Amino acid sequence: MVEAVADEAVVDVVPLERRRVDEASRVLARAFHDDPAWAWIVPADARRARILPWLFRVALRTTLATGAVDTTRGPVRGIALWSRPGADAVDAATERSLLVLPLRLRTAYGRFRAYAEWNRDLQARAWAGPSVFLSGLGVDPPHQRCGVGGTLLEAGRSRDPALAAVLLTNDLGNVRFYERHGYDVVLDAPMPHGLPTWAMVRPPDPTRLPG
């Protein structure tokens, strides 16, 4: 558990329990509703609000099976999803969800697939060695700019300090936030249709490297 003070409130970082996946998925849906990538994938606001909780439930279940998900003690105020490149173990429920993904997304599925493939390529190019990947960091809008996101970010980093941490973002404001936490832009690669995408890396802690 990691504790930090943020605007007179204590942020306790704990592993997400499976019983809280639905709550966490709704928080992520609110946090990412206006994200440039999701607005491009699912342009209609009302439809995006309906589909994002389901998509994030799938992402959370997958990451719980293959990596780590951090959140806040008590009500979910923020969530960070960390995965290892190449991890592919998923449970049966997640496999079924992935099979129906084209049906749930319908006309948005082509954009979703193009975005996912673009991200996989950038992730592979961003760092060749062992790493952890921040596949998502979201804070409920009422709790943004209160230190929750930074605390979650540092908690994940402290778990694997000997590994590089890699992330992708489509928002220039996020680039500034991650730079303050030690991440550097290694690739500035907009998608062919123009969606900006930055790959960022925080190198391993040199004091924690083997040998």
**Residues 6-46: tens digit of each pLDDT:** 343 578 999 999 999 999 999 999 999 999 999 999 999 99
170 has a pLDDT exceeding 80: yes
Tokens 């990596």 belong to: 67
E-only strand ranges, 20-89: 68-72, 78-83
Evaluate whether 64 touches 24 at the Cβ level (below 8 Å): no
Mean pLDDT within 82-101: 62
Strands 184-188 and 198-202 turn out to be: antiparallel
pLDDT of residue 188: 97
Token duo for residue 202: 């925080």
Token duo for residue 69: 């998900």
Greatest pairwise CA separation for the chain in angstroms: 54
Token duo for residue 137: 């960091």
Q: SS3 of 68, please?
A: strand
- Full domain range(s) for residue 35: 2-208
pLDDT of residue 121: 93
7 phi-psi bin (left φ>0, alpha ψ -120 to 50, beta other): left
Number of domains in the chain: 1
pLDDT of residue 65: 87
2, β-bridge pairs: 13
Across all residues in the chain, what is the average pLDDT? 88
At 174, which CATH number? 3.40.630.30
pLDDT of residue 90: 46
